[in-house]
Amino acid sequence: MDTQVNQPGFAGLRTGDSVETTVHIVGGKWKGVILYHLIEGELRFNQIRRRIPGITQRMLTLQLRDLEKSGVLDRVVYQETPPRVGYRLNALGRTLIPLITMMKEWGDSYRGQLSAEPIQPSVLVE
Amino acid sequence: MDTQVNQPGFAGLRTGDSVETTVHIVGGKWKGVILYHLIEGELRFNQIRRRIPGITQRMLTLQLRDLEKSGVLDRVVYQETPPRVGYRLNALGRTLIPLITMMKEWGDSYRGQLSAEPIQPSVLVE
DNA sequence: CCGTATCCTCTACGATACTG
DNA sequence: CAGTATCGTAGAGGATACGG
Protein backbone atom coordinates (compact mmCIF):
# COMPACT_ATOMS: atom_id res chain seq x y z
CA MET A 1 0.00 0.00 0.00
CA ASP A 2 2.34 2.74 1.15
CA THR A 3 0.39 5.60 2.58
CA GLN A 4 3.25 7.93 1.97
CA VAL A 5 4.73 9.71 -1.00
CA ASN A 6 8.14 8.84 -2.22
CA GLN A 7 11.38 10.01 -0.92
CA PRO A 8 13.38 12.05 -1.51
CA GLY A 9 11.75 15.41 -1.74
CA PHE A 10 8.22 14.01 -1.58
CA ALA A 11 7.40 14.33 -5.24
CA GLY A 12 4.80 16.99 -5.75
CA LEU A 13 6.03 19.30 -3.07
CA ARG A 14 7.90 22.37 -4.18
CA THR A 15 10.47 24.42 -2.37
CA GLY A 16 8.81 26.44 0.35
CA ASP A 17 6.49 23.65 1.28
CA SER A 18 8.50 22.79 4.36
CA VAL A 19 5.44 23.02 6.55
CA GLU A 20 3.77 20.41 4.37
CA THR A 21 6.82 18.19 4.57
CA THR A 22 6.48 18.14 8.33
CA VAL A 23 2.75 17.57 8.13
CA HIS A 24 3.39 14.59 5.88
CA ILE A 25 5.57 12.99 8.50
CA VAL A 26 3.74 13.89 11.68
CA GLY A 27 0.23 14.21 10.27
CA GLY A 28 -2.51 11.78 9.51
CA LYS A 29 -4.71 10.22 12.12
CA TRP A 30 -2.11 8.25 14.07
CA LYS A 31 1.50 9.28 13.52
CA GLY A 32 1.45 12.17 15.94
CA VAL A 33 0.19 10.04 18.81
CA ILE A 34 2.56 7.21 18.02
CA LEU A 35 5.51 9.56 18.10
CA TYR A 36 4.23 11.09 21.30
CA HIS A 37 4.23 7.75 23.08
CA LEU A 38 7.66 6.87 21.75
CA ILE A 39 9.08 9.93 23.49
CA GLU A 40 9.14 7.92 26.71
CA GLY A 41 11.50 5.41 25.14
CA GLU A 42 11.54 2.19 23.19
CA LEU A 43 8.19 0.41 23.07
CA ARG A 44 7.09 -2.93 21.70
CA PHE A 45 4.36 -3.31 19.12
CA ASN A 46 1.66 -4.30 21.55
CA GLN A 47 2.70 -1.73 24.10
CA ILE A 48 2.07 0.98 21.57
CA ARG A 49 -1.18 -0.64 20.62
CA ARG A 50 -2.42 -0.68 24.18
CA ARG A 51 -1.51 2.98 24.61
CA ILE A 52 -3.58 3.95 21.59
CA PRO A 53 -7.10 2.63 21.98
CA GLY A 54 -8.94 2.45 18.70
CA ILE A 55 -6.00 1.80 16.44
CA THR A 56 -6.09 -1.48 14.52
CA GLN A 57 -3.10 -3.77 14.03
CA ARG A 58 -3.11 -2.98 10.35
CA MET A 59 -3.04 0.77 10.90
CA LEU A 60 -0.33 0.57 13.54
CA THR A 61 1.83 -1.52 11.21
CA LEU A 62 1.30 0.84 8.29
CA GLN A 63 2.05 3.96 10.27
CA LEU A 64 5.15 2.45 11.85
CA ARG A 65 6.41 1.47 8.39
CA ASP A 66 5.82 5.02 7.15
CA LEU A 67 7.70 6.48 10.08
CA GLU A 68 10.54 4.06 9.43
CA LYS A 69 10.66 5.16 5.79
CA SER A 70 10.68 8.77 6.85
CA GLY A 71 13.75 7.88 8.83
CA VAL A 72 12.59 9.04 12.24
CA LEU A 73 12.47 5.73 14.02
CA ASP A 74 14.32 2.43 14.23
CA ARG A 75 12.84 -1.01 14.37
CA VAL A 76 14.65 -3.38 16.68
CA VAL A 77 14.13 -7.10 16.23
CA TYR A 78 15.05 -9.31 19.18
CA GLN A 79 15.76 -12.90 18.15
CA GLU A 80 13.78 -14.62 20.83
CA THR A 81 10.76 -16.80 21.27
CA PRO A 82 8.21 -15.45 21.45
CA PRO A 83 9.36 -12.84 18.91
CA ARG A 84 9.89 -9.35 20.24
CA VAL A 85 10.08 -6.13 18.28
CA GLY A 86 10.84 -2.71 19.62
CA TYR A 87 10.38 0.72 18.13
CA ARG A 88 12.34 3.76 19.16
CA LEU A 89 13.02 7.27 17.97
CA ASN A 90 16.44 7.57 16.35
CA ALA A 91 18.58 10.71 16.28
CA LEU A 92 16.49 12.41 13.62
CA GLY A 93 13.29 11.37 15.32
CA ARG A 94 14.44 12.83 18.60
CA THR A 95 14.67 16.24 16.95
CA LEU A 96 10.90 15.98 16.65
CA ILE A 97 10.34 15.84 20.39
CA PRO A 98 10.01 19.59 20.95
CA LEU A 99 7.52 19.76 18.09
CA ILE A 100 5.40 16.84 19.27
CA THR A 101 5.47 18.15 22.82
CA MET A 102 4.33 21.53 21.62
CA MET A 103 1.50 19.96 19.65
CA LYS A 104 0.40 18.07 22.72
CA GLU A 105 0.46 21.19 24.86
CA TRP A 106 -1.31 23.35 22.33
CA GLY A 107 -4.01 20.70 21.95
CA ASP A 108 -4.43 20.57 25.70
CA SER A 109 -4.90 24.29 26.15
CA TYR A 110 -7.11 24.49 23.07
CA ARG A 111 -9.42 21.97 24.65
CA GLY A 112 -9.48 23.92 27.86
CA GLN A 113 -10.24 27.05 25.88
CA LEU A 114 -13.16 25.31 24.19
CA SER A 115 -15.01 24.41 27.33
CA ALA A 116 -14.36 27.85 28.78
CA GLU A 117 -15.84 29.80 25.87
CA PRO A 118 -17.29 27.96 22.88
CA ILE A 119 -16.17 29.33 19.56
CA GLN A 120 -18.47 31.71 17.76
CA PRO A 121 -17.75 32.30 14.09
CA SER A 122 -16.35 35.80 13.84
CA VAL A 123 -17.02 37.63 10.62
CA LEU A 124 -15.95 41.21 11.09
CA VAL A 125 -17.43 43.89 8.87
CA GLU A 126 -15.55 47.09 8.25
CA MET B 1 -19.72 19.32 3.34
CA ASP B 2 -17.62 20.32 6.30
CA THR B 3 -14.25 18.62 6.15
CA GLN B 4 -13.96 18.93 9.90
CA VAL B 5 -15.53 17.20 12.84
CA ASN B 6 -17.82 19.02 15.17
CA GLN B 7 -16.88 21.14 18.03
CA PRO B 8 -16.55 20.90 20.91
CA GLY B 9 -14.20 18.09 21.63
CA PHE B 10 -14.04 16.78 18.08
CA ALA B 11 -16.38 13.85 18.51
CA GLY B 12 -14.45 10.63 18.34
CA LEU B 13 -11.37 11.93 20.09
CA ARG B 14 -10.89 10.90 23.67
CA THR B 15 -8.98 12.58 26.43
CA GLY B 16 -5.28 12.26 25.82
CA ASP B 17 -5.64 12.78 22.12
CA SER B 18 -4.42 16.32 22.34
CA VAL B 19 -1.83 15.70 19.67
CA GLU B 20 -4.59 14.62 17.34
CA THR B 21 -6.61 17.70 18.17
CA THR B 22 -3.74 19.84 17.00
CA VAL B 23 -3.23 17.73 13.90
CA HIS B 24 -6.89 18.22 13.06
CA ILE B 25 -6.45 21.96 13.08
CA VAL B 26 -3.08 22.45 11.39
CA GLY B 27 -3.07 19.22 9.42
CA GLY B 28 -4.34 18.25 6.04
CA LYS B 29 -2.75 19.30 2.83
CA TRP B 30 -3.20 23.06 3.06
CA LYS B 31 -3.95 24.41 6.54
CA GLY B 32 -0.37 24.47 7.71
CA VAL B 33 0.81 26.52 4.75
CA ILE B 34 -2.15 28.86 4.96
CA LEU B 35 -1.43 29.55 8.61
CA TYR B 36 2.23 30.00 7.82
CA HIS B 37 1.53 32.75 5.33
CA LEU B 38 -0.91 34.46 7.66
CA ILE B 39 1.86 34.90 10.19
CA GLU B 40 3.04 37.92 8.21
CA GLY B 41 -0.29 39.62 8.82
CA GLU B 42 -3.73 40.03 7.30
CA LEU B 43 -4.02 38.77 3.74
CA ARG B 44 -6.78 38.90 1.16
CA PHE B 45 -8.23 35.84 -0.49
CA ASN B 46 -6.29 36.16 -3.70
CA GLN B 47 -3.11 37.15 -1.93
CA ILE B 48 -3.15 33.84 -0.12
CA ARG B 49 -3.99 32.07 -3.32
CA ARG B 50 -1.03 33.54 -5.13
CA ARG B 51 1.28 32.58 -2.28
CA ILE B 52 0.17 28.96 -2.49
CA PRO B 53 0.60 27.71 -6.05
CA GLY B 54 -1.47 24.67 -6.76
CA ILE B 55 -4.35 25.36 -4.40
CA THR B 56 -7.75 25.70 -6.02
CA GLN B 57 -10.32 28.36 -5.13
CA ARG B 58 -12.56 25.69 -3.77
CA MET B 59 -9.90 24.24 -1.50
CA LEU B 60 -8.78 27.62 -0.23
CA THR B 61 -12.36 28.50 0.64
CA LEU B 62 -12.95 25.20 2.41
CA GLN B 63 -9.77 25.35 4.44
CA LEU B 64 -10.34 28.95 5.43
CA ARG B 65 -13.85 28.06 6.58
CA ASP B 66 -12.47 25.19 8.65
CA LEU B 67 -9.89 27.43 10.26
CA GLU B 68 -12.61 29.95 11.05
CA LYS B 69 -14.69 27.22 12.68
CA SER B 70 -11.69 26.10 14.68
CA GLY B 71 -11.57 29.66 15.94
CA VAL B 72 -8.02 30.48 14.98
CA LEU B 73 -8.65 33.15 12.40
CA ASP B 74 -10.98 36.05 11.69
CA ARG B 75 -12.60 36.94 8.42
CA VAL B 76 -12.80 40.64 7.76
CA VAL B 77 -15.26 41.91 5.20
CA TYR B 78 -14.64 45.40 3.84
CA GLN B 79 -17.76 47.04 2.41
CA GLU B 80 -16.27 48.30 -0.81
CA THR B 81 -16.45 47.81 -4.55
CA PRO B 82 -14.87 45.65 -5.64
CA PRO B 83 -15.48 43.49 -2.58
CA ARG B 84 -12.51 42.90 -0.34
CA VAL B 85 -12.07 40.21 2.28
CA GLY B 86 -9.17 39.81 4.62
CA TYR B 87 -8.08 36.91 6.75
CA ARG B 88 -5.97 37.24 9.86
CA LEU B 89 -4.92 35.18 12.84
CA ASN B 90 -6.85 36.10 15.95
CA ALA B 91 -5.55 35.84 19.52
CA LEU B 92 -5.95 32.08 19.65
CA GLY B 93 -4.47 31.69 16.20
CA ARG B 94 -1.43 33.70 17.17
CA THR B 95 -0.64 31.14 19.85
CA LEU B 96 -0.03 28.76 16.96
CA ILE B 97 2.83 30.82 15.54
CA PRO B 98 5.62 29.11 17.49
CA LEU B 99 4.25 25.73 16.43
CA ILE B 100 3.92 26.60 12.75
CA THR B 101 7.33 28.21 12.75
CA MET B 102 8.80 25.11 14.28
CA MET B 103 7.12 22.94 11.68
CA LYS B 104 8.56 25.09 8.94
CA GLU B 105 12.04 24.93 10.40
CA TRP B 106 11.94 21.20 11.02
CA GLY B 107 10.76 20.64 7.47
CA ASP B 108 13.60 22.77 6.17
CA SER B 109 16.31 20.92 8.02
CA TYR B 110 14.74 17.57 7.24
CA ARG B 111 14.98 18.37 3.56
CA GLY B 112 18.62 19.34 3.98
CA GLN B 113 19.21 16.10 5.83
CA LEU B 114 17.67 14.15 2.97
CA SER B 115 19.99 15.42 0.29
CA ALA B 116 22.98 14.98 2.58
CA GLU B 117 22.39 11.34 3.37
CA PRO B 118 19.44 9.51 1.85
CA ILE B 119 17.46 7.45 4.30
CA GLN B 120 18.17 3.76 4.49
CA PRO B 121 15.60 1.64 6.27
CA SER B 122 17.16 0.62 9.56
CA VAL B 123 16.06 -2.69 10.96
CA LEU B 124 18.31 -3.53 13.85
CA VAL B 125 18.67 -7.15 14.91
CA GLU B 126 19.66 -7.98 18.46
C1' DC C 1 3.64 -11.86 19.61
C1' DC C 2 3.82 -9.46 15.49
C1' DG C 3 2.39 -9.05 11.83
C1' DT C 4 -0.10 -9.73 6.19
C1' DA C 5 -3.95 -10.28 3.07
C1' DT C 6 -8.54 -8.99 1.44
C1' DC C 7 -12.17 -6.31 0.94
C1' DC C 8 -14.77 -2.26 1.66
C1' DT C 9 -16.21 2.57 2.90
C1' DC C 10 -15.84 7.22 3.18
C1' DT C 11 -13.96 11.70 2.54
C1' DA C 12 -10.33 14.73 1.40
C1' DC C 13 -9.00 16.66 -2.53
C1' DG C 14 -9.23 18.01 -7.48
C1' DA C 15 -11.28 19.91 -12.24
C1' DT C 16 -14.31 22.74 -14.08
C1' DA C 17 -17.94 25.91 -14.62
C1' DC C 18 -20.67 29.62 -13.01
C1' DT C 19 -22.10 34.10 -9.93
C1' DG C 20 -23.09 38.59 -6.84
C1' DC D 1 -12.74 39.95 -6.29
C1' DA D 2 -14.25 36.35 -3.71
C1' DG D 3 -16.53 33.12 -3.76
C1' DT D 4 -20.59 28.49 -4.85
C1' DA D 5 -22.14 24.43 -7.28
C1' DT D 6 -21.34 19.81 -9.38
C1' DC D 7 -19.14 15.98 -10.41
C1' DG D 8 -15.43 12.75 -10.15
C1' DT D 9 -11.35 10.15 -8.07
C1' DA D 10 -7.53 8.30 -5.20
C1' DG D 11 -6.19 6.84 -1.19
C1' DA D 12 -6.52 7.02 3.86
C1' DG D 13 -8.60 4.49 7.08
C1' DG D 14 -11.42 0.41 8.91
C1' DA D 15 -13.26 -4.77 9.72
C1' DT D 16 -12.07 -9.14 9.66
C1' DA D 17 -9.52 -13.27 8.96
C1' DC D 18 -5.34 -15.79 8.61
C1' DG D 19 -0.07 -16.90 9.26
C1' DG D 20 5.16 -17.50 10.89
Establish if A85 touches chain B: CB-CB under 8 angstroms.
no
What confidence tens digit (pLDDT) does each residue in A67-103 have? Answer: 999 999 999 999 988 889 999 999 999 999 999 999 9
Q: Quick one: which of B27, B17, B92 has its CA closest to A19?
A: B27
Which strands make up the sheet holding A43-44, listed edge to edge?
A43-44, A84-89, A73-78, B123-125
Establish if A29 touches chain B: CB-CB under 8 angstroms.
yes
Structure confidence at residue B8 (pLDDT): 36
What lies within 8 Å, CB to CB, of A14 at 6+ separation is B53, B54
The Cα–Cα gap between A111 and B14 comes to 11
Q: Which residues of A84-119 are buried (b: 16+ CB within 10 A; e: fewer)?
A: eebbebeeebeebeebbebbbebbbebbeebeeeee
Phi, psi (degrees; rounded to nearest 5) at B7? -85, 155
- Tell me the three-class secondary structure of chain A, residue by residue: CCCCCCCCCCCCCCCCCHHHHHHHHHCCCCHHHHHHHHCCCCEEHHHHHHHCCCCCHHHHHHHHHHHHHHCCEEEEEECCCCCEEEEEECHHHHCCHHHHHHHHHHHHHHHHHHHHCCCCCCEEEC
What confidence tens digit (pLDDT) does each residue in B15-56 have? Answer: 558 999 999 999 999 999 999 999 999 999 999 999 999 999
Based on the number of CB atoms within 10 Å of its own CB, is B24 exposed (0-12), middle (13-18) or buried (19 or more)? buried
B7 CB and strand C closer than 7 A: no
**Domains of chain A with CATH codes:** 32-114 (1.10.10.10)
Phi, psi (degrees; rounded to nearest 5) at A51? -75, -15
**How far off is chain A from B40, nearest CA to CA, in Å?**
15
Q: How far is CA A73 from CA A9, A11, A28, A64, A89, in A?
A: 19, 22, 17, 8, 4
Structure confidence at residue A8 (pLDDT): 36
Asked whether the beta carbons of residue A8 and residue B121 sit closer than 8 angstroms, the reply is no
Establish if A57 touches chain B: CB-CB under 8 angstroms.
no
Which nucleotide comes closest to A56 if you measure CA to C1'?
Answer: D14
Better pLDDT: B83 or B86: B86
Q: In chain B, what percentage of residues exceed pLDDT 90?
A: 73
**Which residues does residue B75 pair with via DSSP β-bridges, in sequence order?**
A123, B87
Q: Which residues of chain A have pLDDT under 50?
A: 1-9, 11, 15
The Cα–Cα gap between A34 and A12 comes to 26
